[in-house]
Copies of this chain bind each other. A is one copy, B any other.
């Protein structure tokens, strides 16, 4: 929590700032995102005011295994959409260390080709420590980019863990990138991603084994229902480093968006907003928990007692919960 005084920006000042964000001003957008990152009290008010101006942008999730060349593909998609005259937002989810909070990504350096282009806004989201918040951060950034007029907005995740799957839940279209020649584990991952994939990409399609990979995906598809009724996720072959297949991918994405029946689109929108709301509530509850744990004066002594097994985490958890949730204690009694 920041100081209370900083909360009290005048209504006129806030309105003027919001107008700058809505006008697509990069500095105002970046400042909003920083306030969100810092959990500044003003952030919620800004997001609340931007919200009615959003919903227009198509959000495209790009996920898949490490080493599949997602970053290059994202880079080429950005170039494709720029050529077609779109302002493009990119949210890049970094697999940063849970401890240091930082990772060195060659990928991001490559994306800097677009850094001087005002029609592109790239924002990296680091995982914010072990209390989560990745989904919520991504949601908020997408909202700001949408309000700024960026459309489409690409969310690129590195990795295929639960966190990454969560993040692409807010996408209108999810692209799952595979690559020929990875091991057995990959099949398991694909099964996990199958139900979120609207479009499959087999990147590095000039490599041996591409037919096998395509066949594997087709086999997996027969195991699961298509996510949106009649839509059968197409498999697009790309060689991103040579810009091969990128416009075909963009077409498949556009076709997906256009071909969802209104009912399925409405159901998907409800799932999206439900996910956004839950991410927000979850994040706030974890803030409350972090505050409660930090405020626990006996924390060091408690950890000593836990380490010595003089008490157990289940008992201590109940004690902490009773402090946070008054009704919790009553339920127990």
Instruction: Give every chain B residue within 8 A of A242 (Cβ-Cβ).
Output: none
What are the 8 A-B residue pairs with the smallest beta carbon separation, nearest first?
A: A161-B161, A67-B183, A51-B312, A273-B306, A66-B185, A67-B182, A280-B317, A103-B191
* Copies in the assembly, this chain: 2
- B66 touching A281 by the CB < 8 A rule? no
Any chain B CB within 8 A of the CB of A158?
yes
Any chain B CB within 8 A of the CB of A80?
no
**Per-residue interface assignment for chain A, residues 276 to 296, with 1 indicating a CB less than 8 Å from any chain B CB and 0 otherwise:** 111011101110110011000
- A278 touching B293 by the CB < 8 A rule? yes
- A185 touching B158 by the CB < 8 A rule? yes
Instruction: Give every chain B residue within 8 A of A186 (Cβ-Cβ).
Output: 66-67
Any chain B CB within 8 A of the CB of A119?
no
Pull 22 A–B residue pairs with CB atoms less than 8 Å apart, ordered by A. A44-B314, A47-B314, A48-B312, A51-B309, A66-B160, A66-B189, A68-B185, A69-B183, A95-B161, A97-B195, A98-B166, A100-B195, A104-B223, A106-B184, A106-B188, A107-B185, A107-B188, A131-B278, A273-B307, A273-B313, A277-B320, A288-B325
**Per-residue interface assignment for chain A, residues 165 to 178, with 1 indicating a CB less than 8 Å from any chain B CB and 0 otherwise:** 11001000000000
How far, in Å, is A44 (CB) from chain B's closest CB? 5
Instruction: Give every chain B residue within 8 A of A277 (Cβ-Cβ).
Output: 302, 306, 313, 316-317, 320
- B162 touching A134 by the CB < 8 A rule? yes
How far, in Å, is A292 (CB) from chain B's closest CB? 8
- A165 touching B309 by the CB < 8 A rule? no
A266 to B284 CA separation, bound complex (whole angstroms): 32
Any chain B CB within 8 A of the CB of A315?
yes
- B158 touching A328 by the CB < 8 A rule? no
How far, in Å, is A200 (CB) from chain B's closest CB? 15
| Given A186-B67, A189-B159; A270-B314 close (CB under 8 Å) | no
**Per-residue interface assignment for chain A, residues 222 to 239, with 1 indicating a CB less than 8 Å from any chain B CB and 0 otherwise:** 011000000000000000
A306 to B289 CA separation, bound complex (whole angstroms): 27
Instruction: Give every chain B residue within 8 A of A83 (Cβ-Cβ).
Output: none
How far, in Å, is A267 (CB) from chain B's closest CB? 10
Instruction: Give every chain B residue within 8 A of A280 (Cβ-Cβ).
Output: 313-314, 317
Among A134, A188, A282: residue with most chain B CB under 10 A: A188
Any chain B CB within 8 A of the CB of A262?
no
A227 to B308 CA separation, bound complex (whole angstroms): 22
Any chain B CB within 8 A of the CB of A70?
yes
Instruction: Give every chain B residue within 8 A of A127 (Cβ-Cβ).
Output: 162
- A163 touching B163 by the CB < 8 A rule? yes
- A95 touching B282 by the CB < 8 A rule? no
- B159 touching A266 by the CB < 8 A rule? no
Any chain B CB within 8 A of the CB of A192?
yes
Instruction: Give every chain B residue within 8 A of A163 (Cβ-Cβ).
Output: 161-163
Instruction: Give every chain B residue within 8 A of A272 (Cβ-Cβ).
Output: 307
- Give chain A interface residues in 44-96, CB to chain B under 8 Å: 44, 47-48, 51-52, 54-55, 65-71, 94-96
**Per-residue interface assignment for chain A, residues 314 to 332, with 1 indicating a CB less than 8 Å from any chain B CB and 0 otherwise:** 1111001100111110000
- B188 touching A51 by the CB < 8 A rule? no
Instruction: Give every chain B residue within 8 A of A65 (Cβ-Cβ).
Output: 66-67
- A188 touching B105 by the CB < 8 A rule? yes
